[in-house]
Amino acid sequence: MCGIVGYVGCNLAYPVLIDGLKKLEYRGYDSAGVALHAGNSLEVYKKEGKVANLEEYVYGKNIQATVGIGHTRWATHGVPSDRNAHPHLSNSGGIAMIHNGIIENYAQLKEELVLKGYTFKSDTDSEVLLNFIEDIKINNECSLEEAVRIALRRVVGAYVILLIDTDLPDTIIAARKGSPLVIGIGENAHYLGSDASPMLAYTKEVVYINDYELAIVKPDELILKNLGNERITPFVQKLDMELAAIEKGGFDHFMLKEIFEQPQTIFDSLRGRMDATIPAITLSGIEKIKGKILEANRIIIVACGTSWHAGLLAEYVIEELCRVNVEVEYASEFRYRNPIITDKDIIIAVSQSGETADTLVAIENAQKQGATIFGLVNVVGSSIARMSDAGAYTHAGPEIGVASTKAFTAQLAVLYLVALKIGQLKGTIENTLFNKLLEDLAKVPEHVQHILEDQNEHIREVAKKYTDARDFLYLGRGYNFPIALEGALKLKEISYIHAEGYPAAEMKHGPIALVDESLPVVFVATKDPYHEKIVSNIQEIKARKGMVVAVISQGDEVIPTLADDVIVVPQIHEIIAPILSVVPLQLLSYYIGLNRGLDVDKPRNLAKSVTVE
At 481, the amino acid letter reads F
CB of 402 to ligand M6R, least distance (A): 6
537 Cβ partners below 8 Å, 6+ apart?
A: 475, 477, 504, 505, 507, 523
In the bound state, the residue with its beta carbon closest to ligand M6R is: 305
How many Cβ atoms from other residues are within 10 Å of residue 367's Cβ? 16
Establish if 351 lies at the interface with ligand M6R (CB under 6 A): yes
Q: Which is nearer to ligand M6R, 57 or 496 (CB)?
A: 496
The reply on whether position 433 binds ligand M6R by CB under 6 A is no
The site map against ligand M6R for 452-491 (x = CB under 6 A) is ----------------------------------------
User: For residues 378 and 553, which CB has a smaller minimum distance to ligand M6R in the complex?
Assistant: 378
Q: Does 269 bind ligand M6R (CB under 6 A)?
A: no
Q: Is 394 in the site for ligand M6R (CB under 6 A)?
A: no
Per DSSP, the three-state class of 307 is helix
Q: Is the peptide bond before 87 cis (omega within 30 degrees of 0)?
A: yes
Catalytic site residue from 50, 204, 426, 608: 608
Do β-strands 325-330 and 298-303 pair in parallel, antiparallel, or remain unpaired? parallel
CA-based nearest residue to 294, from 384, 364, 372: 372
Q: Which of 559, 578, 576, 553 is nearest to 521 (CA)?
A: 559
Minimum gap (Å) between residue 385 Cβ and ligand M6R: 12
Based on the shown chain and the rule CB under 6 A, indicate whether residue 589 belongs to the binding site for ligand M6R.
no
Min dist CB 411 to ligand M6R, Å, is 8
Q: In angstroms, what is the minimal distance from the CB of 593 to ligand M6R?
A: 12
From 2, 304, 406, 527, the catalytic residue:
2
> Segment near ligand M6R (CB under 6 A), from 131-139, 188-196, 298-306, 526-534?
298-306
The SS3 call for residue 317 is: helix
Q: Closer CB to ligand M6R, residue 171 or residue 307?
A: 307
- Listing DSSP states for 84-107 in one string gives TSSPEE-TTS-EEEEEEEEETTHH
Per CB under 6 A, the list member of 30, 125, 345, 493 interacting with ligand M6R is 493
* Concatenated DSSP letters of 404-457: -SHHHHHHHHHHHHHHHHHHHHHT-S-HHHHHHHHHHHHHHHHHHHHHHHHHHH
CB atoms within 10 A of CB 541: 23
DSSP letter, residue 72: E
CB of 262 to ligand M6R, least distance (A): 14
Which is it for strands 274-275 and 236-238: parallel, antiparallel or unpaired? unpaired
2 an active-site residue?
yes
> Residues 126, 404, 553, 581: which binds ligand M6R (CB under 6 A)?
404
CB of 438 to ligand M6R, least distance (A): 26
Query: Among residues 307 and 388, whose Cβ is nearest to ligand M6R?
Result: 307
Figure out which of the listed residues 91, 306, 388, 455 binds ligand M6R, where binding follows CB under 6 A: 306
Q: How far is the CB of 65 from ligand M6R (least distance, A)?
A: 40
Asked about 608 being catalytic, the answer comes back as yes
* Backbone torsions φ then ψ of 531, nearest 5 degrees: -60, -40
| Residue among 102, 99, 119, 100 at smallest CA distance from 110 | 119
574 binds ligand M6R (CB under 6 A): no
Q: Which is nearer to ligand M6R, 100 or 378 (CB)?
A: 378
CB nearer to ligand M6R: pick between 87 and 578: 578
Q: Which of 237, 244, 256 is nearest to 197 (CA)?
A: 244
Q: How far is the CB of 610 from ligand M6R (least distance, A)?
A: 5
CB 35, min distance to ligand M6R, A: 33
Which one of residues 75, 168, 301, 403 is an interface residue with ligand M6R (CB under 6 A)?
Answer: 403
Task: CB nearer to ligand M6R: give 493 or 528.
Answer: 493
- Please identify which residue in 356, 388, 409, 526 interacts with ligand M6R, judged by CB under 6 A: 356
Q: Does 307 bind ligand M6R (CB under 6 A)?
A: yes
> Hey, what amino acid is at 337?
R
CA distances from 87 to 47, 69, 546 (A): 10, 8, 59
Residue 597: left if φ>0, alpha if ψ -120 to 50, beta else—which one? Answer: left
Could you give the CA distance from residue 383 to residue 368 in angstroms, rounded to a whole number? Answer: 16
- Distance of alpha carbon 385 from alpha carbon 525, whole angstroms: 35
32 vs 303, beta carbon nearer ligand M6R: 303
Q: Is 305 in the site for ligand M6R (CB under 6 A)?
A: yes
- Minimum CB separation of residue 169 from ligand M6R in Å reads 46
Q: Does 424 bind ligand M6R (CB under 6 A)?
A: no
C-alpha pair distances (Å), 360 with each of 29, 85, 377: 21, 26, 12
Select from 226-234, 347-355, 416-424, 428-436 the region that touches ligand M6R (CB under 6 A): 347-355
Strands 345-351, 372-377: parallel, antiparallel or unpaired by DSSP?
A: parallel
Helix H segments across 71-159?
Answer: 106-115, 125-140, 144-154
Which of 90, 265, 359, 586 touches ligand M6R (CB under 6 A)? 359
Residues that bind ligand M6R (CB under 6 A): 304-307, 351-353, 356, 359, 402-404, 493, 606, 609-610
Active site residues: 2, 608
